[in-house]
Amino acid sequence: MLRAMLLCLVAATSIGSSALAQERKPPVPPGRDPGGVAIGLVSTGIDYTLPSIVPRLARDGEGELIGWDMADNDRQPFDRTKGATPPQWGGDGTAVASFLLGGVVRLVPVRVDPADPGSLARAVAFMAQTPARLVLLPIADARPDALEGLRRAAVRYKSLSIILPAAEGDAIAEALKGLDNVITVRQGAAGVDATGFGGRAQRLSGAPLAVAAAGMAAARLLSREPQIDARTLKRRLMEAGGEVLWRIGE
């Protein structure tokens, strides 16, 4: 009986995975580059079809999205889980994107697969080839075999300022600890209203909110002083100590 149950479970999982793989993602709506400070967002995908997000997507000269799906290897970093992935794995991507829709920001979205140990490192490497100098990584947990590759990528691409959550036991924060271009932040205020997958109302709070708010502060600084490097940006943010929605975590 147990063996039969296990076989049924495996079969159901395979069917579900196959259906997910075959599900077609929506095309990225047409648009033009909005200008402004480019912010890279690493998550398990966003709903890039939302009318509020479309105008802030970074584009190349032909209007193509500057972004990538590390799982599907295409330019459609769509959240296949429809916002169901837990926040610690990067499931709040759409809500974070909606928070970032200030006038100084254009968004470079990248979708990663938490089950793929090389996904995070490849995401950082991709960001280094884009206009983004800020990379938001609202992800606290990762597979142990992903951490060393991620650290090597952060060291190699030191022109990128990487902002991520800081909490005791956070695997990624521990792996990137001490790097001059990595800024760890903690929660400030309780939360804010945001727009989640499909346009539904969502409360953005905790680590994802802290990372998003710190990213906006960094973008404002870069819009005023575009010449500063990642080390200086980190120092300036640490001296500021944070704002209502975020606090420096180091």
Inside any domain, residue 117? yes
Residue 146 has pLDDT above 90, yes or no: yes
Inside any domain, residue 17? no
Q: What is the pLDDT of residue 46?
A: 98
- How many separate domains does the chain show? 1
Q: What is the domain-level CATH number for residue 63?
A: 3.40.50.200
Tens digit of each residue's pLDDT (9 = 90 or more) over 26-58 = 999 999 999 999 999 999 999 999 999 999 999
- Per the CB < 8 A criterion, the answer to whether 19 and 164 are in contact is no
**Cβ neighbours of residue 147 under 8 Å, at least 6 residues apart?**
171, 172, 175
Inside any domain, residue 168? yes
Residue 110 has pLDDT above 80, yes or no: yes
What is the mean predicted confidence (pLDDT) over 157-174? Answer: 90
Tens digit of each residue's pLDDT (9 = 90 or more) over 81-108 = 999 999 989 999 999 999 998 778 999 9
- Is residue 25 helix, strand or coil? coil
Percent of the chain at pLDDT > 90 equals: 82
Inside any domain, residue 56? yes
Tens digit of each residue's pLDDT (9 = 90 or more) over 196-222 = 999 999 999 999 999 999 999 999 999
Inside any domain, residue 11? no
